[in-house]
């Protein structure tokens, strides 16, 4: 068996090939460009890990992992257009570099290319892999649409926010693991537990991401804190604060968000602290992490095989703050 | 066997169902809206016809036909964004009605939905159908990109223009027929002939479309002539005229295109006539139609089964002008 880090290395080597023809360069160069921006390749590695949990890695796991990574990059190219984002991983986004029209079309063709890779696998699992891939891909689109909708809405409930985050980010993590498991011949029960492990781990990760943006140690977090607060971004923290604050403090919070005072971050953080939003967030994260780990425990394979998934959980959820 | 018109009716009835869930309405309402704008549903009917050429219509032909029509509509939604088109079939386009971001995402999800339908078919043909569908879908994207590229280029050769048109429109017609044939158990040779029939018929249709826009009888054509000329659109006619005109007449043509005089259409048509571009276009169309019909002849089934495809050719290529 491979460690999590070894699998990252193995996939990176396999993925560093050209996935597109050269002509027309105006269509395919943007695709190549975007893939060179890198990324942690977490999702395809999760596919390999889900596969190796049950058996030696199947040759089919690599094309499926590749399809997942191409799909993920397609969503990023299109999301960057929708978010009018100029930078991605410190580099110019596709629509800024090549124009929105080409970014739409290059994203489309990257999505289509992912289905080429899916079609490489043994017929035995093709239908179930396609079914899960399609379902998940549509859910990711639904999550992105809800995210855009919520940005226009004044009030969003915690349940709705969790639903959105689950669709937008967690289901792809969950499905990546499950696709690996399907190829590994796992039972339906094991597939379900592995999916729920990935889904809940993803939600815990997102809560942590929101937490760190507000309360992280800038030295360890690697970027300035308060970015979400400055942008009035709806996060776990803000949604919870708005739901538990007194009417006066809620009005104050909304006013700060509207007027953007110079000490906006400090003021918002003070209100968060007043309502112990930081403690609440850590507890909520722990709850989801616990659910995730329970599902991992309930998969009927020997514990040694679960080690890379434990490493993954440790990698995603830093306990060090 | 069904006539072409009967198949149009049969498919229309099957297709008039909801293809999307209700939630989130902000994502799926635009999809439903666009499908209600109608369309001739030529491509899915071609799939049914390609299928019935070899056998009674297979139950698998309907989901594949549906996937083709959803794919086609996905391309239209995204193309309308790229072309900044306000109207489609006399109705407001998706991006004008719901915004570009939602149009991108609704198009994406419509494409994904087409793969659900493909996944409904018997495993026996799934791999070959997916392979042809994916290849064709990428080619359509390549054609759209080349079309956008050519609009920025001053000179485009006839060969390049034919290549672009083939990718952008003809290969989907060809593949629709071939997917039907694959499901009908046709031989590789028959599949190839049917594909070439569709491809060449598509090119002939496009030449006719360009011809009618310039030389059509407005009463029969159903819209004002000269639209392409007014917009300086690259067409078979313009590309040929620029390649055969004398240096002086070529300069004159380019000047008219640049200055947009009130009698622009008349002036351009006069130059087209001077170089017999109309006669040339009709001959070119006849050449492609002949190639198409030769391929249809070379398919080893009794002539009676080919009748609907003859009707299709007659429907697409009006000889009445």
For B48-78, the pLDDT digits (tens) are 999 999 999 999 999 999 999 999 999 999 9
Whether the CB-CB separation of A47 and A300 falls below 8 Å is answered with no
Find the radius of gyration of the CA atoms of chain B: 20
Contacts of A129 (CB under 8 A, 6+ apart): A64, A118, A121, A179, A182, A183
Give me the sign of the Cα torsion angle B54, B57, B60, B66.
Answer: positive
The one-digit pLDDT tens for each residue of chain A (321 residues) are 999 999 999 999 999 999 999 999 999 999 999 999 989 999 999 999 999 999 999 999 999 999 999 999 999 999 999 999 999 999 999 999 999 999 999 999 999 999 999 999 999 999 999 999 999 999 999 999 999 999 999 889 999 999 999 999 999 999 999 999 999 999 999 999 999 999 999 999 999 999 999 998 877 766 678 989 999 999 999 999 999 999 999 999 999 999 999 999 999 999 999 999 999 999 999 999 999 999 999 999 999 999 999 999 999 997 544
* Residue B319 pLDDT grade (very low, low, confident, very high; cuts 50, 70, 90): low
Q: Contact A115/B134, CB-based, under 8 Å? A: yes
Whether the CB-CB separation of B27 and B105 falls below 8 Å is answered with yes
Partners of A115 on chain B (C-beta within 8 Å) are 115, 130, 134
How high is the pLDDT of residue B222?
A: 63
Of B15, B20, B13, B109, which Cα lies nearest the Cα of B64? Answer: B15
Strands (E) located in chain B = 87-88, 91-92
Residues of A with CB under 8 A from a CB of B: 23-24, 26-27, 78, 81-82, 100-102, 104-105, 107-109, 111-113, 115-116, 118-119, 123, 126-127, 130-131, 134, 137-138, 141-142, 144-146, 148-149
Which bin fits B260, alpha (ψ -120 to 50), beta or left (φ > 0)? left
| Interface with chain A: mutation pick from B101, B110, B117, highest number of A CBs within 10 Å | B101
Angle at A303 between CA A294 and CA A136, to 5 degrees: 55
d(CA A31, CA A35): 6
pLDDT, mean of residues B20-39 = 97
d(CA B243, CA B28): 47
Going by the DSSP 8-state scheme, the letter that residue B83 receives in this structure is: T
| Interface with chain B: mutation pick from A71, A82, A112, highest number of B CBs within 10 Å | A112
Partners of B115 on chain A (C-beta within 8 Å) are 115, 130, 134
Q: Contact B127/A119, CB-based, under 8 Å? A: yes
Q: Which residue of A has its CA nearest to B80?
A: A101
Is the pLDDT assigned to residue B221 strictly greater than 70? no
For B321, what's the count of Cα atoms within 13 Å in the CB-facing half-sphere?
19
* Assigned token pair, B288: 């492609």
Q: Which residues of B118-145 are buried (b: 16+ CB within 10 A; e: fewer)?
A: bbbbeeebbeebbebbbebbbbbbbbbb
Phi, psi of A87 (to 5 degrees): -125, 145
Q: Contact B141/A115, CB-based, under 8 Å? A: no
pLDDT, mean of residues B158-170 = 97
Q: Which residue of B has its CA nearest to A120?
A: B127
ipTM score for this prediction: 0.95
Per the prediction, chain A carries an average pLDDT of 95
In a 10 Å sphere around its CB, with 0-12 CB exposed, 13-18 middle and 19+ buried, how is residue A255 labelled?
exposed
Q: Contact B145/A115, CB-based, under 8 Å? A: no
Q: What is the DSSP string of B166-188?
A: IIIIIHHHHHHHHHHHHHTT--H
How high is the pLDDT of residue A32?
A: 98
Of B203, B132, B204, which Cα lies nearest the Cα of B165? Answer: B203
Q: Mind telling me how many Å the CA of A316 is from chain B's nearest CA? A: 28
Q: Contact A109/B27, CB-based, under 8 Å? A: no
Which bin fits A222, alpha (ψ -120 to 50), beta or left (φ > 0)? left
Whether the CB-CB separation of A170 and A161 falls below 8 Å is answered with no
Indicate the helix (H) or strand (E) that contains B285.
Answer: helix B277-297
Quick: pLDDT tens for A258-299.
999 999 999 999 999 999 999 999 999 999 999 999 999 999
| Interface with chain A: mutation pick from B126, B134, B146, B147, highest number of A CBs within 10 Å | B134
Q: Contact A27/B142, CB-based, under 8 Å? A: yes
Of B139, B213, B191, B209, which Cα lies nearest the Cα of B170? Answer: B139
Residue A92, strand partner residues = A87
Quick: pLDDT tens for B269-304.
999 999 999 999 999 999 999 999 999 999 999 999
Partners of A149 on chain B (C-beta within 8 Å) are 24, 26
Q: What is the DSSP string of A55-100?
A: SSPPTTHHHHHHHHHHHHHHHHHHHHHHTT--EETTEE-HHHHH-H
Helix (H, G, I), strand (E, B) or coil at A308: helix
Q: Is the pTM of this model over 0.80?
A: yes
Is the pLDDT assigned to residue B321 strictly greater than 50? no
Residues of B with CB under 8 A from a CB of A: 23-24, 26-27, 78, 81-82, 100-102, 104-105, 107-109, 111-113, 115-116, 118-119, 123, 126-127, 130-131, 134, 137-138, 141-142, 144-146, 148-149
Minimum-distance CB partner of B24 among A113, A115, A146:
A146
d(CA A200, CA A312): 13
Partners of B26 on chain A (C-beta within 8 Å) are 145-146, 148-149
pLDDT, mean of residues B140-166 = 95
How high is the pLDDT of residue A218?
A: 76
Per the prediction, chain B carries an average pLDDT of 95
Is the pLDDT assigned to residue B218 strictly greater than 80? no
Instruction: Give the other-Cβ count within 10 Å of B180's Cβ.
Output: 31
| Interface with chain B: mutation pick from A21, A116, A145, highest number of B CBs within 10 Å | A145
Residue B91, strand partner residues = B88
Q: Contact B112/A146, CB-based, under 8 Å? A: no
Indicate the helix (H) or strand (E) that contains B219.
Answer: helix B218-221
Q: Which residue of B has its CA nearest to A163?
A: B24
Q: Mind telling me how many Å the CA of B218 is from chain A's nearest CA? A: 33
Instruction: Give the other-Cβ count within 10 Å of A159's Cβ.
Output: 9
In a 10 Å sphere around its CB, with 0-12 CB exposed, 13-18 middle and 19+ buried, how is residue B311 labelled?
middle
Q: Which residues of A280-314 are buried (b: 16+ CB within 10 A; e: fewer)?
A: bbbebbeebbebbbebbeebeeeeeebebbeebbe
Partners of A104 on chain B (C-beta within 8 Å) are 78, 81-82, 104
Angle at B172 between CA B166 and CA B175, to 5 degrees: 110
Of A131, A75, A165, A145, which Cα lies nearest the Cα of B31? Answer: A145
Three-class secondary structure assignment of B35-69: HHCCCCCHHHHHHHHHHHCCCCCCCCHHHHHHHHH
Minimum-distance CB partner of A115 among B23, B115, B148:
B115
């Amino acid at each position: 068996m491979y460690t999590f880090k070894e699998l990252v290395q193995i996939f990176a080597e396999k993925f560093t090939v050209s996935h597109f023809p050269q002509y027309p360069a105006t269509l395919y160069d943007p695709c190549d460009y975007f893939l060179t921006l890198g990324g942690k390749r977490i999702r395809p590695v999760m596919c390999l890990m889900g596969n190796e949990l049950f058996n030696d890695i199947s040759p089919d796991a690599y094309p499926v992992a590749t399809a997942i990574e191409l799909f993920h990059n397609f969503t990023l190219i299109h999301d960057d257009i929708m978010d009018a984002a100029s930078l991605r991983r410190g580099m110019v986004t596709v629509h800024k570099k090549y124009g929105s029209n080409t970014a739409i079309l290059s994203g489309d063709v990257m999505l289509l290319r992912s289905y080429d890779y899916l079609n490489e696998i043994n017929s035995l699992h093709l239908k179930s892999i396609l079914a899960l891939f399609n379902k998940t891909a549509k859910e990711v689109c639904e999550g992105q649409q809800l995210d855009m909708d919520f940005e226009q809405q004044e009030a969003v409930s915690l349940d709705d926010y969790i639903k959105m985050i689950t669709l937008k980010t967690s289901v792809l993590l969950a499905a990546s693991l499950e696709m690996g498991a399907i190829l590994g011949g796992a039972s339906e029960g094991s597939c379900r537990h592995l999916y729920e492990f990935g889904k809940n781990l993803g939600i815990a990760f997102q809560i942590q991401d929101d937490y760190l943006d507000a309360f992280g140690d800038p030295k360890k977090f690697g970027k300035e804190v308060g970015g979400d607060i400055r942008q009035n971004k709806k996060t776990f923290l803000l949604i919870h604060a708005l739901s538990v604050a007194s009417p006066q403090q809620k009005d104050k919070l909304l006013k700060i968000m509207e007027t953007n005072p110079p000490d906006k971050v400090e003021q918002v953080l003070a209100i968060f602290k007043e309502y112990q939003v930081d403690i609440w967030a850590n507890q909520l994260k722990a709850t989801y992490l616990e659910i995730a780990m329970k599902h991992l425990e309930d998969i009927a394979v020997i514990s040694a095989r679960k080690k890379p998934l434990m490493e993954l959980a440790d990698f995603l959820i830093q306990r060090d703050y």
